[in-house]
Structure 1
Amino acid sequence: MAKVSRITELKGVGPKLAEQLEQKLQIRTLTDLFFHLPFRYEDRSRITPIGMVQPMRPAVIQGEVRGASVLFGKRRSLLVKVQDHTGLVNLRFYHFNAAQKNQFRTGAMVRCYGEPRRGASGLELYHPEYSIIDEGLDADLEPSLTPVYPATDGISQQRLRLLHEQALTLLAADQVELTDLLPPQWLQQWRLPTLKDALLFLHNPPRDTRLELMESGQHPAQRRLILEELLAHQLSLHKLRAQVQADAAPAIHSAKQLQQALLANLPFTPTNAQSRVVAEIEQDLQQPYPMLRLVQGDVGSGKTLVAALAACDALEAGHQVALMAPTEILAEQHFNNLSGWFNPLGVQVGWLAGKVKGKARTQALADIAAGSAQLVVGTHALFQDEVHFARLGLVIIDEQHRFGVHQRLALREKGAHRNLAPHQLIMTATPIPRTLAMSAYADLDTSVIDELPPGRSPITTVAISDQRRHEVIERVNRACARPEQGGENAQAYWVCTLIEESEALQCQAAENTAQELTAALPHLRVGLVHGRMKAAEKADVMARFKAHELDLLVATTVIEVGVDVPNASLMIIENPERLGLAQLHQLRGRVGRGAAKSHCVLLYKSPLSFTSKQRLQVLRDSQDGFYIAEQDLAIRGPGELLGTRQTGLQMLRVADLQRDGELLPQVRDMAQQLWTQHPHTVEPLIQRWLGDAERFASV
Structure 2
Amino acid sequence: MREVSELDGVGPQVASRLKALGIIREVDLLLHRPLRYEDRTRIVAMNRVRPETRVQVEGRVMHQEIVQRRRRMLLVTLADDAGQITLRFFRFYPSQLRMFRVGNHLRCFGDVRFGPQGFEMAHPQCQVLGTGEPPPLPKHLTAIYPVTQGLAQATLAKIIDGAVERLLSGIIELPDPLDGTIDPGLVEAVRQVHRPGPDADLDALIDGHHPAVQRLASEELLAHHLALTRLNRARARQKAHPLEPDQALDAKLLDVVGFEPTGAQRRVIAEIAADLNTSRPMRRLLQGDVGSGKTLVAAVALLAAAASGRQAAIVAPTEILAEQHYNTLSQWFAPLGIEPVWLAGKVKGKARREALERLAGDAAVAIGTHALFQHGVEFRDLALIVVDEQHRFGVHQRLALAAKGSEGERSPHQLVMTATPIPRTLAMTAYAGLEVSVIDELPPGRKPVTTVALSQGRREEIIDRLRRALAEGRQAYWVCPLIEESEVLEAQAAESTAEELSAALPEFTVGLIHGRMKPADKQQVMDDFSAGRIELLVATTVIEVGVDVPNASLMMIENAERLGLSQLHQLRGRVGRGSAQAACVLIYKPPLGETAQKRLEVMRETTDGFVIAEKDLELRGPGEVLGTRQTGMMRFRIADLARDAELLEPVKGLADSLDTAGADIVIERWLGDAEQFVDV
TM-score, normalised with respect to structure 2: 0.64
Contact 1:406 1:696 in 2 (8 A): no
Q: Say how many residue pairs are matched.
A: 490
Q: Which residue of 2 aligns with 1:323?
A: 314
Q: What SS does structure 1 have at the residue aligned with 2:549? A: coil
Instruction: Work out whether 1:636 is the aligned partner of 2:641.
Output: no
Return the letter of the residue paired with 1:366. E
The answer for the alignment partner of 1:577 in structure 2 is 561
Query: Does the 8 Å CA contact 1:507/1:556 hold for their aligned counterparts?
Result: yes
The answer to whether 1:440 aligns with 2:440 is no
Determine the structure 2 residue equivalent to 1:430: 420
Q: Does 1:480 align with 2:470?
A: yes
Distance between the aligned counterparts of 1:317 and 1:24, measured in 2?
Answer: 45
SS at match of 1:636: coil
Q: Which amino acid aligns with 1:527?
A: G
SS of corresponding position for 1:242? helix
Specify the alignment match of 1:277 in structure 2: 268
| Contact 1:391–1:417 (Cα < 8 Å) also in 2 | no
Which whole-Å CA distance do the structure 1 matches of 2:637 and 2:530 have between them?
39
Deviations 1:280-310 (CA, angstroms, capped at 9, x unpaired): 1112112213211111111111110110011
RMSD: 4.1
Which one of 605, 617, 633 corresponds to residue 621 of structure 1? 605
Q: Is the 8 A contact 1:326 1:399 kept in 2?
A: yes
Instruction: Report deviation, 1:277.
Output: 1.2
Which deviations, in whole Å up to 9, do the C-alpha atoms of 1:297-334 show, x marking residues without a partner?
Answer: 11111110110011111110011111111111111100
Q: Alignment partner for residue 508 of structure 1, among 470, 492, 497?
A: 492
Q: How many angstroms apart in 2 are the aligned matches of 1:661 and 1:344?
A: 47
- Alpha-carbon distance in 1 for matches of 2:411, 2:247: 23
The 3 A distance-change label for structure 1 pair 363 and 638 is same
Equivalent residue number for residue 481 of structure 2:
497
Residue aligned with 2:496, SS: helix
Structure 1 counterpart of 2:513, one-letter code: V
1:311 corresponds to which residue?
Answer: 302
Q: 1:339 aligns with which of 326, 330, 333?
A: 330
Q: State the alpha-carbon separation in 1 of the partners of residues 519 and 415 from structure 2.
A: 26
CA shift at 1:480, angstroms? 1.1
612-621 or 337-346, larger mean C-alpha shift: 612-621
Is 1:551 equivalent to 2:535 in the alignment?
yes
SS at the partner of 1:600? strand
Q: 1:694 deviation in Å?
A: 5.3
**What SS does the aligned partner of 1:377 have?**
strand
Within 2, Cα distance between the matches of 1:441 and 1:197? 26
Residue 243 of structure 1: how far off its partner (Å): 2.8
Cα 1:663/1:277, change in 2 over 3 Å: farther
Alignment of 1:464 onto 2:454: yes
Take 2:497 and 2:533, find their aligned partners in 1: how far apart are those partners?
Answer: 20
| Distance change in 2, residues 1:307/1:321 (3 Å) | same
Change (3 A) 1:572 1:245: same
Distance apart, 1:473 and its partner CA: 0.9
CA distance change for structure 1 residues 538 and 572 in 2, over 3 Å: closer, same or farther? same
Distance across 2 between alignment mates of 1:641 and 1:392: 28
The 1:698–1:648 alpha-carbon spacing in structure 2 relative to 1, beyond 3 Å, is farther
**Counterparts of 2:243 and 2:356 in 1: how far apart (Å)?**
25
Whether 2:395 is the aligned partner of 1:405: answer: yes
1:477-496 superposed Cα distances (whole Å, 9 cap, x missing partner): 11111xxxxx3x21111111
Q: Which residue of 1 aligns with 2:347?
A: 356
Specify which of 550, 558, 583 is matched with residue 599 of structure 1.
583
Q: SS of the counterpart of 2:494? A: helix
Alpha-carbon distance in structure 2 between the residues aligned to 1:250 and 1:665: 36
Q: Deviations over 1:32-56 (max 9, x none)?
A: xxxxxxxxxxxxxxxxxxxxxxxxx
State the one-letter code of the partner of 2:610: F
Q: 1:532 matched to which residue of 2?
A: 516
Quote the Cα distance in structure 2 between the aligned partners of 1:196 and 1:250: 48
Is the aligned partner of 1:698 residue 2:675? yes
Identity %, equivalent residues: 55
User: Which 5+ residue runs of structure 2 have no aligned equivalent?
Assistant: 1-25, 30-80, 83-163, 169-176, 184-216
Q: Deviations over 1:224-266 (max 9, x none)?
A: xx99997775343121233345332111123322111101222
Displacement of 1:646: 5.0
Bigger mean CA deviation after superposition, 409-418 or 378-387: 409-418
Query: Paired residue for 1:250?
Result: 241
Instruction: State the alpha-carbon separation in 1 of the partners of residues 490 and 540 from structure 2.
Output: 7
**Shift in CA distance, 453/696, structure 1 to aligned 2, threshold 3 Å:** farther
Measured after TM superposition, the shift of residue 630 of structure 1 is: 3.0
Q: 2:382 aligns with which of 387, 392, 407?
A: 392
- The amino acid that maps onto 2:622 is R
Q: Distance in 2 between matches of 1:453 and 1:249?
A: 33
- The Cα of 1:696 is off from its aligned counterpart by 6.8
C-alpha distance in structure 2 between counterparts of 1:383 and 1:293, whole Å:
20
1:542 positional shift:
1.2
Q: Tell me the CA shift for residue 539 of structure 1.
A: 1.4
Structure 1-normalised TM-score?
Answer: 0.62
Cα distance change, pair 354–637 in 1 and its aligned pair in 2 (3 A):
closer
Is 1:452 matched up with 2:429? no
1:265 aligns with 2:256: yes
Secondary structure of 2:621 counterpart: helix
- In structure 1, give the amino acid aligned to 2:621: I
**Partner of residue 503, structure 2:** 519
**Matched-pair contact (CA < 8 Å) for 2:343–2:366:** yes
The DSSP-based 3-state class of the residue aligned with 1:318 is: coil
| Residue of structure 1 equivalent to 2:638 | 650
Residues 514 and 425 of structure 1, relative CA distance in 2, 3 Å threshold: same
Runs (5+) with no aligned partner, structure 1: 1-22, 27-72, 75-151, 157-177, 180-194, 200-225, 482-486
Write the letter of the residue equivalent to 1:557: T
C-alpha distance in 2, partners of 1:606/1:459?
24
One-letter code aligned to 1:392: L
* 3-state SS in 2 of match to 1:553: strand
Q: Would the aligned equivalents of 2:321 and 2:547 in 1 still touch at CA under 8 Å? A: yes
Partner of 1:567: 551
Q: 2:392 & 2:643 partners in 1: Cα distance? A: 26
CA–CA distance in 1 between the matches of 2:665 and 2:356? 44
Contact 2:490 2:540 in 1 (8 A): yes
Distance 2:232 2:512 in 1: 43
Out of 361, 368, 374, which is 2:364 matched to?
A: 374
Question: CA-to-partner distance for each residue in 1:137-178, whole Å, 9 max, x for gaps?
Answer: xxxxxxxxxxxxxxx87999xxxxxxxxxxxxxxxxxxxxx9
How far apart, CA to CA, are the structure 2 residues paired with 1:25 and 1:229? 12
Task: Give the corresponding residue for 2:186.
Answer: none
Q: Deviations over 1:339-366 (max 9, x none)?
A: 0000111001111111111111111111
Q: Structure 1's 516 and 350: CA in aligned 2 closer, same or farther, altered over 3 A?
A: same
Q: Deviations 1:122-143 (Å, cap 9, x if unpaired)?
A: xxxxxxxxxxxxxxxxxxxxxx
Q: Distance in 1 between matches of 2:514 and 2:27?
A: 39
Quote how far apart the aligned CAs of 1:687 are: 4.9
Question: What's the secondary structure of 2:638's corresponding residue?
Answer: helix
Cα distance, 1:419 vs structure 2: 6.7
Match of 1:171 in 2: none
* Residue 568 of structure 1, CA deviation: 0.9
Shift of 1:637: 7.4
Which entry has the higher C-alpha Rg, 1 or 2? 1
- Residue 65 of structure 1 corresponds to none
**Separation in structure 1 between the aligned mates of residue 667 and residue 405 of structure 2, nearest angstrom:** 30
1:66-77 aligned within 5 A: none
Distance 1:245 1:339, change over 3 A: farther
SS where residue 454 of structure 2 aligns? strand
Counterparts of 2:455 and 2:669, CA distance in 1: 48
- Call closer, same or farther: CA 1:243–1:480 in 2, change over 3 Å: same
Q: Distance in 1 between matches of 2:182 and 2:510?
A: 64
Give 3-state SS (helix, strand or coil) of 1:565's partner.
coil
SS of 1:473's partner is helix
The AA in structure 2 aligned to 1:636 is: P
Partner Cα distance (1:522, 1:659) in 2: 45
- Following superposition, the deviation at residue 469 of structure 1 comes to 0.8
